[in-house]
Amino acid sequence: MSIVRSVFFLALGVLAISSMCIMIQNHLTVESVNDKENLQPSRHHVLSLGQEDDDVLVFVHISDLHISAFTAKDRYEQLNEFCNINLKAINPGLVIASGDLTDSVTPDNLVVDQFIEEWAMYKALYTICQNVSSVPHWLDLRGNHDNFNINGYNSPNNYYPKFGSQRLHPSGSYMTTIETNNKTKYAFIAVDATLDIGSKRLLNFVGQLDDTRLLKLQELDQAASKLNVNATIWFGHYPSSIILTYGILPGLRHVAAKGIAYLCGHLHTFSGLIPHMYSNHHSGMLELELADWKHNRMYRVAVIDQGLFSFADIKHKTWPVIVVTNPKPLLTVQPSKEPVELMATSTHIRIFIFSPLPINSCEVKLDEGSWQPCKRSGQKHPLYTAPWQPELYSKGLHVLQVRARDSSGSEMLSKIEFALDDTKPRFPLSARLTLMLDFTTMSKVLFAVSIILCTLPFCIIRRLQLRIIQRKMTVLRIRTSCIRLWVRKFWVFASINRLLFPFLAYTVYLTFGPWFIAHFVQDRVGVLFVWGTLFDDGLYLPGTTTYFYCAIHVIFFNMLLVIILAHTADVRYQEKILKKGTDSRTMCRKITSCFPISIFLIFHGITCLIFWQSYGYLSMLVNPARSWSLILAFYLWLTAKRLDTPQLTLAVKTWN
């Protein structure tokens, strides 16, 4: 009967894991979209893709500027250079600055606050950009760094309403419409997802959109539809996967489903691990995370060419800048939102080449063919064209290479893949995981799994021990020595009530009890739980980043602690029961046995100091989950080290 039950639960576990994998796969898989509700209101007034440049909009996207009044002065100097040289050469219709405009961090990189000097520097920057480079529109919004230590939008130290270029929009979210020379309209909608109460560092990473903000975004989307715009571009600081939506209204991905693209930043390409963080949602909308200016000096040049959206992410001081708009790069093709059918009937390859110096040469190469010259055709924009026969490339995947050189000798080679049939793009799995999954949900899952791993195995061991004592099963026999060694360690640990019960109680406490009390915002006191934060005036903020940090704590504290305790208890078991090692307990070995717990306590003691630096002394004094847990860990280790024969009785009965 026990075998049947074991097989049943094993099959149930496999089914659950398989279902989860299928769910994730379905969530990440993007099929071709043909949803009429997601089509742009107007796809007319487009010209043939020949040599004209009447219906073109060029814009620039920059993110995570992190202007600092204390460090990295070259960052700000190069931003001024970007305004004076890059924007003047590109001549965009607008610039989008998508958050983290200021750094808001002291030179020691520990204390965060809003500094009026940094905001004054930012205002001076975009004022120069608009005056010197004749940029007609500078669209910006706040990021999490711009919201550090802010007690609400109307807080005296919230400097965005005083220094931001779009400070006249009190809700943070707004819409701007742009017209091309051909009277084509495009809408740009800003998504402000910063927290209502901007706490200090560590807990101010995830954005939030409640029903009030989502309703505002729906109104902006409806307003764009009434204006009969040809396309909508959404932009915000946080990727959609890093935004918590709570309420009855659907989330950002649903509200922005009609948009061509959602432009964002915030993740800094995960320190270079995902340099091209692009994905395509089920609505057909592209989500394009941009690498930061702070460390990587990256910016994006985007072109909407007669309804076709293309872009290139460029590192500062890289010239010439090449953006191919026909044929579109495969990763940017959106049949439900753009007139992509124009590519198959076009007469010319279309390339926009930007440089502060004249372009001396331009060449294109299709597949394995020869290099062909291209010439400047645009009068208002640096459009270069080359004749081609699209019918020769109507099937499958093809490669277009563009080579351009300016008068200084700087040369750039751009290579894109394109297809004129229904060949689907393949976005990197790492980018899809990052942009399409939900960070808060995955953090909850990670936290739940970590709690289960720290509790369920020991409950199962205790159950097995009880059955062995009741003679309902025999003592375990494990042949593999390594596995037998570690099973014995955890078996001994689970048999000792003085170790197991406090450890389980602490682990379960983390799921519902308060972690610590601290000044999360200025002098405002709050109580942090894994599921949210309660402030002294009754305000409640749902848990977001808390689940992730708590899961990391369980992994690096609870799991490591149980390994140390199990090993220490097993050493005492060998000494007292198996009579091994009693003659070799030299002073050196006794000192060496203290190394694991010493390193463990020092490491977690340092992490507690980080909380003190971030939230003040109160977060250290009233911190059951972190600072108090160090006392518990040391007490349990001493208990394991001093175990005597009576405490090991259960282990003897069920293991030997």
CA 163 – CA 424 distance, rounded (Å): 44
The answer on pLDDT for 10 being more than 50 is no
Domains, the chain, with CATH or none: 59-317 (3.60.21.10), 319-427 (2.60.40.10), 439-655 (no CATH)
What pLDDT band is residue 29 in, cutting at 50, 70 and 90?
low
Q: Give the per-residue pLDDT at 43.
A: 47
CA 118 – CA 560 distance, rounded (Å): 42
125-151 pLDDT, tens digit per residue, is 999 999 888 899 999 999 999 999 998
CA 548 – CA 517 distance, rounded (Å): 18
Q: Give the per-residue pLDDT at 8.
A: 39
What pLDDT band is residue 24 in, cutting at 50, 70 and 90?
low
What mean pLDDT, rounded, does the chain reach? 87
What pLDDT band is residue 653 in, cutting at 50, 70 and 90?
confident
Among 250-259, 344-353, 461-470, 586-595, the least confident range? 586-595
Q: Nearest CA to 361 among 382, 381, 379, 375?
A: 375
What pLDDT band is residue 170 in, cutting at 50, 70 and 90?
confident
Q: Give the per-residue pLDDT at 432.
A: 87
The answer on pLDDT for 44 being more than 50 is no
CA 640 – CA 260 distance, rounded (Å): 61
Torsion angle of C-alpha atoms 439, 441, 443, 444, degrees rounded to 10: 170
Interacting residues of 649 by C-beta distance below 8 A, sequence separation 6+: none
CA distances from 456 to 444, 531, 633 (A): 18, 21, 20
Looking at per-residue confidence, does 591 or 429 come out higher? 429
What pLDDT band is residue 617 in, cutting at 50, 70 and 90?
confident
Looking at per-residue confidence, does 558 or 16 come out higher? 558
pTM here is 0.87
Highest mean pLDDT among 69-73, 395-399, 535-539, 585-589: 395-399
Identify the helix (H) or strand (E) that includes residue 303. strand 298-305
**Tokens standing for 188?**
């740009």
* Number of residues in the chain: 656
CA 136 – CA 196 distance, rounded (Å): 31
CA 10 – CA 15 distance, rounded (Å): 9
Q: Give the per-residue pLDDT at 56.
A: 92
The answer on pLDDT for 231 being more than 70 is yes
